[in-house]
A and B are shown apart, each in its own frame.
Chain A
Amino acid sequence: MTSAPSPTAGPITVAVIGNPNTGKSTLFTALTGIHSRIGNYPGVTVEKKIAKFQFNDREIRLVDLPGTYSLSPRSLDEMVSVEVLLGRQAEVGKIDVVVCIADASNLERNLYLTSQILDLGLPTVLVLNMWDVAVSRGVTIEAEALSKKLGIRVVPCEAHRHRQIDDVKRAILSAAGQSVISPPRVFPPEFYEEGLRLQSILKGWGDPDVPFYVAERMLLDVGGQVETSFTARFPAQLPDELNCARERLKANGFRVPSAEAKARYAWVRETLTGVLTTPAERPATRSDRLDQWLTHRTWGLLAFAFIMFAVFQSISTFASPLMSYCEMGQQAVGEFVGSWMAPGPFRSLVVDGVIAGVGGILIFLPQICFLFLFIALLEDCGYMARAAFLMDKLMTKVGLSGKSFVPLMSSFACAIPGIMATRTIENRRDRMVTILVAPLMSCSARFPVYTLMIVAFIPNIKWLSGWISLHGILFFGMTFLGAAIAIPIAWLFKKTLFRGETPPFVMELPGYKWPSPHIVLNRVYDRARAFVARAGTLIFATSILIWAASYFPADHSRQYQIEDQIDQMRATVQSELSQQAELEAAQKALPESDAAERTVLDQKLADLQPRLEPLNKLIEEKNAISEHLLETSYLGRVGKTIEPVVKPLGWDWRIGVGVLASFPAREVIVSTLGTIYSLGGDVDESHTGLHHALQNSKWQDGRPVYTIPVALSIMVFFALCAQCVSTLMVIRRETNSWKWSLFTFAYMTALAYIGALATFQIGTWITAV
């Protein structure tokens, strides 16, 4: 082992790899600080994370690889790590040093991956993290002796306390001076002969650069990713060659694939003899005692239910007010900017397009951050694995695994963090199905639609002295409709698109630990940034597009004239307007019983009306013009064109336009309906004027448009549709393909249409009977 410093002083590229739950991300941030570049490797869903730091005047580039228990790739995603380590990933380049991080308190299993890493022949540093946990469990490790046996640098470390971080940096630097290491010979000599032989055969077929590790994986992984991709290149010759090679190995007592694990664990045992001493009886740790409660049949479930309840309760307590601040902020900024600009297409673009578009992105942020905060906390402290353990049996009935539960549960608040949280599901098919059904969970953006329809059209019948109400039942039903539909849909996807044998549920239950605020906040920041930077631009673009469709090609000059007049009029009656606002506020604050005071206030308000009358007239006229403009816009025309399509759902063109306009986000339908019914766009779901307008809306023959079946059909549509650009963008990001966003949109829209159609037709039939 030579440790002469490298003569070239360019940056050192270091790959960091290790088992899950070893504190890899803690070490990564401890080494580099929080700034890292995040992207995707081309063609796969693996996240590429690279960060740099300086040490002793050398620049060190750290590449984070996904946590894994072994380096035997079974899919393209898993292949990424191997390609990066072998220097065959163009965007990363040659790897100078591998940092393999292991849990010191659980060294035996961790060294399995280490032994595979050593086969790569790269200069390696083994970091024994969580040294303090090992010590507290009575485990002792002779790091020096281990280093001698392995022929690499071994560094004890406590990354979460930022201890021995410089030792790791020094070890990286000195390992970088090394050219190669000679891997320990874990397998019998016959195996290495077969590997070399395979290499030369491939050379004969025209591929001279197959690293030994790739040949090794080709022999060892029956049906693995390496075998698959090479068979695709040499379909005629390779299967026979591999079969013969494996048969020869078997004749020598080396049975593929089981021989690898046996050989490596035997090597691990032998390596650890004289290095590792563990107490004869494993002492019951605090983590074990905690687990007796948290995975208990009864108490475990209760604790889980309580934790989920607390998460949702705190989201509604903390995130909802922030969301309404976002909304208020957007309005205030819109009004402020609007007041500085003359009415015209540019003002409309800025206020209704740009500011509304940015607002539409920001409004999701509080929820995303809060949900991700909780998800990151649960993950980092080790509880997430317990949640999966508790919920697994239930989820297997749908064809998913326990790991899908928390992402789907989170989607009840917002599908965006839910979809982002599916990264912990390592099985691709499970993860894809979870992503595809997550948007069916009833998120908070559906609530305004439900509220509008239920309050305006459904009589609030109460039973059991008000304990049960029809409104309550409907809200409950709508909330769980999506989840109920998701069950057969998930099952169907598992049977068709993502068919295959049930993936194993082989999951480590890591020891509990205090979550590191640094890691948790960093993860929240990463996700929020990813959402704003990558999904945000596209969400923004869609908002502008919808704005343009609803603005052009109509002639807006009359509207601007009136807006000008309104602005002037407002200035003249400013004192009356503020008086009116004060009186209305006072009236709201008044207790129901105070009838006398109420009449006084009513009288005062009525006295103000004559002065405000001209302004109100103008606003009415403006709203009427806005309605007409929307009707004649591209969006309105499309709405009218598709009326025959939505008519079977009981809808008129106005609802059609509302649905089209709400493509960026579901709740937009409320303000669109406000515009269509001449009330202006700044109404909300509890606006009684909007309720009346809907109730009075008529078909040409005088029948009311909105009947109970129509209201239900709209609600069912919005429960099942994919009117949320953010979700579609996040699906694209997480699956690294537009295909799945389009698929989600298509299947959910079809589902929503069929659901709404059935609701309306059955509802009409029932009311007719």
Chain B
Amino acid sequence: MKTLNDLRQPGQRGEILDVTGDDAVAVRLMEMGLTEGAEIELVGFAPLGDPIEFLIRGYRLSLRKAEAARVAIEVL
């Protein structure tokens, strides 16, 4: 299964399949629009490679690798 961490190049896109887990982090990610079927694009990495910046539902969102690993995607 691929996750958001498998997007390596800025501009690369994926379609979200699922967010793993039922905890507060998972809920928070879904509230921010990371739900099944949404398209997400990698924008870039912070200086030390973490966090990562994405484009989703028309806005920019930054996530740490730890959170990105919980978002299952299909690379487009």
Q: Flag if A393 contacts B31 (CB, 8 Å).
A: no
Question: Chain B: how many interface residues by the 8 Å CB criterion?
Answer: 36
Chain B residues with CB under 8 A of A758:
none
When distances are taken between beta carbons in the complex, the residues of chain B under 8 Å from A502 are 66
Give the complex CA separation of A298 and B46 in angstroms.
10
Residue numbers in B under 8 Å from A390 (CB-CB): 46-47
B57:A262 contact, CB within 8 angstroms: no
CB closest residue in chain A, given B30: A261
The answer to whether the Cβ of A258 comes within 8 Å of any Cβ in the partner chain is: yes
Known: A300-B47, A392-B51. A106 touches B58 (CB 8 A): yes
Q: Is the interface of B mostly helix, strand, loop or mixed?
A: mixed
B residues 15-72 in Cβ contact with A at 8 Å: 19, 22-33, 35-36, 38, 44-51, 53, 55, 57-64, 66-67
In the assembled complex, the Cα of A105 lies from the Cα of B44 at a distance in Å of 22
A286 within 8 A of B: no
CA separation between A402 and B26, bound complex, in Å? 20
Report if A295 contacts B (CB, 8 A). Answer: yes
Residue in A392, A501, A507 whose beta carbon sits within 8 Å of that of B61 in the complex: A507
User: Which of A69-77, A82-90, A409-417, A693-701 has 4 or more CB atoms under 8 Å from chain B?
Assistant: A69-77
Counting chain B CB atoms within 10 Å of each CB, the highest count among A105, A222, A258 belongs to A258
Q: Which residues does chain A contribute within 8 Å of B57, judged by CB atoms? A: 106, 108-109
Indicate whether A74 sits within 8 Å of B24 (C-beta atoms), given known contacts A295-B44, A393-B47. Answer: yes
Q: Are A278 and B61 in contact (CB under 8 A)?
A: no
Please name all residues of chain B whose beta carbon is closer than 8 Å to the beta carbon of A69 when the two chains form the complex: 31-32
Residues from chain B with Cβ under 8 Å of A498 in the complex: none
A109-B32, A262-B36, A506-B28 known; A301+B58 contact, CB < 8 A? no
- CB of B4, distance to nearest CB on chain A (Å): 12
Given contacts A262-B36, A505-B67, A507-B62, contact A393 B25 (CB under 8 A): no
**Shortest Cβ distance from residue B30 to the other chain A in the assembled complex, whole angstroms:** 3
- Docked complex Cα distance between A70 and B60 (Å): 17
Asked whether, in the complex, the Cβ of A265 is within 8 Å of the Cβ of B38, the reply is yes
A502–B51 Cα distance when bound, in Å, is 14
**In the complex, which of the residues A112, A265, A297, A504 contacts B25, with contact meaning CB atoms closer than 8 Å?**
A504
B50: contacting residue among A109, A221, A265, A392, CB under 8 A: A392
A501 to B35, CA, bound (A): 23
Task: Name the contact of B46 in the complex, choosing from A70, A295, A504 (C-beta under 8 A).
Answer: A295
- The CA of A396 and the CA of B51, in the complex, are separated in Å by 11
Report A-chain residues with C-beta under 8 Å of the C-beta of B64.
392, 396, 504-505
When distances are taken between beta carbons in the complex, the residues of chain B under 8 Å from A261 are: 27, 30-31, 35
Distance in angstroms from B44 CB to nearest chain A CB is: 6
Determine which of B19, B51, B59 lies in contact with A106 in the assembled complex, contact meaning CB atoms within 8 Å. B59
Residue of A nearest to B34 (CB): A261
A112-B31 contact, Cβ under 8 Å, with A297-B45, A505-B64: yes
Residue A389 at the chain B interface, CB threshold 8 Å: yes
Query: Would you give the 0/1 interface string for A469-509, flagging 1 where the beta carbon is closer than 8 Å to chain B?
Result: 00000000000000000000000000000000110111111
Q: Which residues of A contact B58 (CB under 8 A)?
A: 105-106, 108-109, 278, 282
How far is the CB of B75 from the nearest CB of chain A, in Å?
Answer: 19
Point out the residues of chain B lying under 8 angstroms from A394, CB to CB.
48
Q: Which of B25, B31, B67 counts the most A-chain CB atoms under 10 A from its CB? A: B31
Interface: A223 (CB within 8 A): yes
Q: Name the A residues within 8 Å of B29 (CB-CB).
A: 504, 506
Q: How far is the CA of A282 from the CA of B60 in the complex (A)?
A: 12
B-side contacts of A108, CB under 8 Å: 33, 57-58
Q: A505 near B51 (CB under 8 angstroms)?
A: yes
CB-CB under 8 A for A389 and B30, given A223-B24, A258-B19, A508-B59: no
- A392 with B46: CB separation less than 8 A: yes
- Cα A265 to Cα B57 with chains together (Å): 11
Query: Within the assembled complex, what's the spacing in Å between the Cα atoms of A301 and B46?
Result: 9
Question: Smallest Cβ distance from B68 to chain A, in angstroms?
Answer: 10
- Of the candidates B51, B55, B63, the one whose C-beta lies within 8 Å of that of A282 is B55
Nearest CB on B from A105, distance (A)? 7
Residue numbers in B under 8 Å from A222 (CB-CB): 22
Which A residues lie within 8 Å of B59 (CB)?
106, 109, 508, 510
The distance from the CB of A210 to the nearest CB of chain B, in whole angstroms, is 22
A256 to B27, CA, bound (A): 10
Selected from B24, B26, B51, B67, the residue in CB contact (under 8 A) with A389 is B51
Answer whether residue A257 sits at the interface, using C-beta atoms and an 8 A cutoff.
yes
A392 and B64 alpha carbons, distance in the complex (Å): 9
Q: How far is the CB of B23 from chain A (nearest CB, A)?
A: 8
CA gap between A438 and B64 in the complex, in Å:
25
- Inter-subunit contact B47/A505 (CB<8 Å): no
Beta-carbon nearest neighbor of A282 in chain B: B58
CA distance A642 to B32 in the complex (A): 57
In the assembled complex, the Cα of A72 lies from the Cα of B28 at a distance in Å of 10
A508 / chain B contacts, CB cutoff of 8 Å: 32, 59-62
In the bound complex, do residue A265 and residue B35 qualify as a contact, i.e. CB atoms below 8 Å apart? yes
In this complex, what residue of B is CB-closest to A256? B22
Which residues from chain A contact B36 at a C-beta distance below 8 Å? 262
Chain A 104-137, CB-CB to B under 8 Å as 1, else 0, gives 0110110010000000000000000000000000
Chain A residue with minimal CB distance to B41?
A: A282
Determine whether the beta carbon of B22 is less than 8 Å from that of A257: yes
Please, how many angstroms separate the alpha-carbon atoms of A394 and B64 in the complex?
12
Which residue of the partner chain B has the closest CB to A394? B48
CA distance in complex: A300, B36 (Å): 33
Q: Give chain B residues whose Cβ lies under 8 Å from the Cβ of A109.
A: 32-33, 57-59
Neighbouring A residues of B35 by C-beta, 8 Å = 261-262, 265
Min distance, Cβ A292 to any Cβ of chain B, angstroms: 8
In the complex, residue of chain B having the shortest beta-carbon distance to the beta carbon of A397: B48
B46 touches A258 (CB 8 A): no
Q: How far is the CA of A258 from the CA of B16 in the complex (A)?
A: 14
Q: Once the chains bind, are B67 and A504 in contact (CB under 8 Å)? A: yes
Please indicate the chain A residues that have their CB under 8 angstroms from the CB of B50 in the complex. Answer: 392-393
Chain A residues with CB under 8 Å of B61's CB are 506-509
Assembly CA distance A298 to B44 (angstroms): 13
In the bound assembly, the distance between CA atoms of A763 and B68 in angstroms comes to 50
Give A193 to B26 CA distance when docked, in angstroms. Answer: 26
In the assembled complex, the Cα of A300 lies from the Cα of B60 at a distance in Å of 17
- Distance (whole angstroms) from the CB of B56 to the closest CB of chain A: 8
The 7 closest A-B pairs by CB, nearest first: A261-B30, A393-B48, A509-B60, A504-B25, A108-B57, A70-B31, A297-B47
A-B contact list, 18 entries, CB within 8 Å: A69-B32, A70-B31, A106-B57, A108-B58, A257-B22, A258-B22, A258-B27, A262-B35, A389-B46, A390-B46, A392-B51, A393-B46, A402-B51, A504-B24, A505-B63, A506-B29, A506-B32, A506-B61
Q: A265-B33, A297-B47 are in contact. List 12 more A-B contacts (CB 8 A).
A: A72-B27, A106-B59, A109-B57, A261-B31, A265-B35, A300-B47, A504-B66, A505-B62, A506-B29, A506-B61, A506-B62, A508-B62
